[in-house]
Chain A
Amino acid sequence: MAIGLFDVLGPITVGPSSSHTAGAIRIGLICKILLGERVKKARITFYGSFAETYKGHGTDKAVVGGLLGFDTYNEQVRDSLTLAPLSGLDAEIIASDITADHPNTVKIEAEGANNKISLAGISVGGGAIRISEIEGYKVDVACRCDTLLIFNEDVGGVVADVSGLLADHGYNIATLSLSRSRRGAGAIMVIETDQAVDDDTAAKIERTPHIIKLIRIPKL
């Protein structure tokens, strides 16, 4: 598997742990980006090693810091639990004793003034993360490329429409995966592209028949 030079020499991050702190900040930050607005309320559930050691590793401060929009190198992460109420963020931390698939798992249910989002992220080591669940759908997003999440109706031709639009606008698809909850129900497409998809193309895709919603995840 490819590893970036800046994954080996990085990330530049607050300590003390690349998996339990840096990765956790990134999961929080991705959640805030997906919500697309200021987070007002968040329910953060830790599983496995996260649940057992979050206090000592500052994993709670890390996720809340990410939800406030802080990146890994922002020292304010240390004070995020104090800063959260001042920024109008009401964060609830729960340590679950349920065993998750991965020992470093966190589930976040976040809401802003207009939107709501729920996701689960895993911290796989060295600050690298994967988003493993979004809105109840199992996904696997590494955030190493610009990624499109497309919620669509499970009907024929949708993948062709989307890939055609991307090709027309000069975007190269690096990877594409599709999953659905059950036949004929909602499905989700995860597309990694070599370049970030612009607003215009994203809007066109979202207007395509059978597309319910599109979310862009920037590469970390």
Chain B
Amino acid sequence: MIIPSIEYIVQQTKEKACPIWQVVINEEMADSGITEEAIRERLAQTYEAMKHAAAKGITTSLRSVSGMTGGDAAKYYNHLKAGDPLLGDFCSKAVSYALATSECNASMGVIVAAPTAGSAGIMPGAFIAAQEIFGFSDRKMVNSLITAGGVGGVISERASLAGAVCGCQAECGSAAAMTAAGICELFGGTVEQCMNAGALALKNCLGLACDPVAGLVEVPCVKRNGMYTVFAITAADMALSGIKSFIPFDEVIDSMNRIGREMPACIRETGEGGLAATPTGVAAREKIFGEKK
């Protein structure tokens, strides 16, 4: 798909009187030559893989290869099961599944990079929890995955989805924006509301550094996935109430791109600045890799 802007998607939905996902499917079919049916089938498999990763992370206490992370998804899930979470049912389940997916990722388990492996927990967290609690059909889930994918496509076109290019705003920020738009659509949001949800989510991720300890997708990535899934739900909920983003979504994406390219390299996935450069971060790196860098 080559989707130049959010504005283009909105225009197309008006012209063709169709939902966002239909516009995205049309673009994907035109570019790839794959049929709608085949796209849906493959996405159904993608969604199954997301569920599988989340379930694995909840039921098994996974440790990462480095040993820095693991076991927190199970910890939070038990907290939820004990009836103790401060968050409501939807958000607390979303946190559990997001943490579980990211722990699965850190332990070299199978996940869906959505859009990247480092941000793989955010979308499944909110999506799986929404379906479990509100009983949406699989077809509806796939529709909203497509909507989220279209938003990701625009971000990739106008900015980047890579932490090495634009920092974590491009990974967890993009995942949160994609999730916000998709969740908003699931709950009956209009096209405008979905795009406002995406804009609200991304706007509040601007400037987010990618500063992983020892350069590994663990600290702060795993817990950040848990946080940002709730953040995406918040953005969707605000948009559903009628709240609008003062800055249009396309302009937010462009600003994310500008900020990203102005960021110093040490906070763009090099593992050299920010949290990675703290005494604890440096000590962890030396312990894992055995020598000073």
Contact = CB atoms under 8 A, between A and B. Distances in A.
Q: Do A and B bind each other?
A: yes
A9 B108 contact: no
A15 B1 contact: no
Given A19-B162, A56-B65, A56-B289, A12 B110 contact: yes
A22 B113 contact: yes
A4 B215 contact: no
Given A56-B215, A194-B33, A3 B110 contact: no
A6 B120 CA distance: 14
* Interface residue range, chain B: 35 or more
Interface string A61-89: 10000000000010101100000000000
A135 to B, nearest CB: 29
Interface stretch (A47-55, A160-168, A181-189, A201-209): A47-55
A58 B28 contact: no
A77 B107 CA distance: 12
Interface string B140-166: 000001101110110011001110110
B241 interface: no
Contact of B112 (A10, A19, A103, A194): A10
Interface residues of A, number: 38
Nearest to B39: A5
Contact of B215 (A1, A10, A53, A78): A53
B164 A19 contact: yes
Nearest to B32: A4
Most chain A CB atoms below 10 A, which of B64, B108, B115: B108
A125 B171 CA distance: 11
A11 to B, nearest CB: 6
B111 A13 contact: yes
B112 A57 contact: no
Residue of A1, A19, A73 with most chain B CB atoms under a 10 A cut-off: A19
A98 interface: no
A73 B110 contact: yes
B28 to A, nearest CB: 5
Contacts of A113: none
Given A9-B149, A12-B110, A3 B49 contact: no
A9 B179 CA distance: 11
A174 to B, nearest CB: 11
A18 B110 contact: no
Interface of A: 1-19, 21-22, 49, 52-53, 55-58, 61, 73, 75, 77-78, 103, 125-127, 194
Interface of B: 1-2, 24, 28, 31-33, 39, 42-43, 45-46, 49, 64-66, 104-118, 120, 145-146, 148-150, 152-153, 156-157, 160-162, 164-165, 178, 214-218, 270-271, 288-289, 293
